[in-house]
Chain A
Amino acid sequence: DTAVSQTPKYLVTQMGNDKSIKCEQNLGHDTMYWYKQDSKKFLKIMFSYNNKELIINETVPNRFSPKSPDKAHLNLHINSLELGDSAVYFCASSPARATDTQYFGPGTRLTVL
């Protein structure tokens, strides 16, 4: 009965490869997010989707493409992986209001060699 789940938990891959991270939430929330946490623990939003519609797209390279097949899923596909993409990627979800709490998935640690 995990609220926000991500797969895989760990991902090790070579530079230049394409990879995907999946996220699912069973909280019935309208909004889902992807965050990147770098090696200094700084957490920055990448994308936000509301009811399958992209509403926030920060300055992220277009090698990163989110896809939301339905309200409960938000996947992140990364093309042509680079060393600098190594980080922990967190999925989160929340209801739609500014005052609503976000709930995070367990994170996916991506290592690009």
Chain B
Amino acid sequence: AQKITQTQPGMFVQEKEAVTLDCTYDTSDPSYGLFWYKQPSSGEMIFLIYQGSYDQQNATEGRYSLNFQKARKSANLVISASQLGDSAMYFCAMREGNTGGFKTIFGAGTRLFVKA
């Protein structure tokens, strides 16, 4: 079963506008972490933002915020005031497990295109 689902293979956004990248997850573990990574065309994986399953408030990091809706099992990434440099692949990931080993599972990614 798919554990992390990103339903948008590609998204377009106008520069300076906000965009939401969708992510839903599936787990029965009460303790888990949700992450977003950015992969620009240069290939590196850049950590953007983290949300813990017990966190009461939505995570924010600069222009990035994570819209965490636990009951709906969604962890959407909101990028405000998009910039041309935001054009990249974005991956949602979930980390779960126990002391036997924590595993991070990645979604298929969403390619974001920012238009000038």
Q: Give me the interface of A with B, judged by CB distance under 8 Å.
A: 31, 33, 40-45, 48, 50, 55-56, 88, 90, 92, 94, 96-104, 106-107, 109
Contacts and interface: CB of A to CB of B under 8 A. Distances in A.
A94 B36 CA distance: 15
B103 A96 contact: no
Given A99-B31, A99-B33, A100-B33, A45 B43 contact: no
The dominant DSSP class at the A interface is: strand
Given A98-B32, A98-B33, A42 B43 contact: no
Nearest to A109: B43
B104 A106 contact: no
Interface residues of B, number: 27
Interface in B7-55: 31-33, 35, 37, 39, 43-45, 47, 50, 52
A55 B91 CA distance: 24
Given A98-B33, A98-B95, A45 B47 contact: no
A41 B43 contact: no
A33 B102 CA distance: 11
A45 B104 contact: yes
Contacts of A45: 103-105
Nearest to A48: B101
